[in-house]
Structure 1
Amino acid sequence: MKANNAETPDSSNGSDIFKWIVTFGLLAAAVVGNYLYGEMSVVIRAAGVVVLIAAALGVSATTTKGKAAIVFARESRMEVRKVVWPTRQETMQTTLIVLAVCIVMALVLWGIDGIMVRLVALATGV
């Protein structure tokens, strides 16, 4: 991944601020519209919400931070493709080992708890 942490001087210009205001306005319109038009069909309201969210994502993608987020997502996808995933056998073996260790630790803690309860009862005379 790129190590581009330096922000450009125009990253907070007026255009980006306006775009973020429009983005949040669209999201607010989706929430308020869904509430105000509660008597309408659910399908129509859901379609309206989806359209408004898509528009908000489209507007936010044109900002400096939106473009950086898209680049980050693409680079992350490339990194995930490089991961060597375990085979089914390795996954099953690891799962069984974790399950066995959990059971053994539960039994050990149950035994320690039983011993401590008896010690406290012996010390307090209950």
Structure 2
Amino acid sequence: MLVSNESQNTNTILDKLKWGLVLVLIAFIVWGNFYFSQPNDIYQPNTIVRIIIVVVVSLLTLFIAVTTNKGKLFLSFLNESRKELRKVVWPTRKETTQTTLLIAAITVIVGLALWGMDSLFRSIIFYLTSIGR
């Protein structure tokens, strides 16, 4: 049991170091992209080079984040979500159109009913308070 605690502590420390590195890399991406986009900079690289560097460092950052325990749990979650999405029975175009039209019709009917009740109550209030004269 002592060995598992030690390995768990090591994994926790290693994960914290990885997350720290991820934050540093993200800060580097933001700073570098801002710094090298300044028009007065002598060392301004080409925009394509900047984009390639941002993509490469972003992929490295993503790879490091995925190797942590939370990253592995997230990948597992994505896998299970994908499996569940494949089980969903999606409606046909005809069913979708019919449902949309039904909802639109109900919305119009309820809107007209609320407008009618509002007009009725307004008329009653105006009659009772003599504001409408």
Same-fold call, TM cutoff 0.5: yes
- Cα distance change of structure 1 residues 121 and 33 upon mapping to structure 2, 3 Å threshold: farther
Q: Using the alignment, how far apart are the partners of 2:120 and 2:36 within structure 1?
A: 63
Which ranges of structure 1 fall in alignment gaps of 5 or more residues? 1-7
3-state secondary structure, aligned to 1:38? coil
1:36-85 Cα shifts (integer Å, max 9, x gaps):
12235543333333222211111000001101111111111111111111
- Cα distance change of structure 1 residues 104 and 68 upon mapping to structure 2, 3 Å threshold: same
Which ranges of structure 2 fall in alignment gaps of 5 or more residues? 39-43
Q: Which structure is higher in RCO with an 8 Å CA cutoff and minimum separation 6?
A: 1
Identity of aligned residues (%): 37
1:74-123 Cα shifts (integer Å, max 9, x gaps):
11111111111111111111111111111111111111222222223223
Q: TM-score, normalised by structure 2?
A: 0.78
Structure 1 letter corresponding to 2:105: A
| Two-structure CA RMSD over aligned residues (Å) | 2.1
Number of paired residues?
Answer: 119
| Larger of the two Rg values belongs to structure | 2
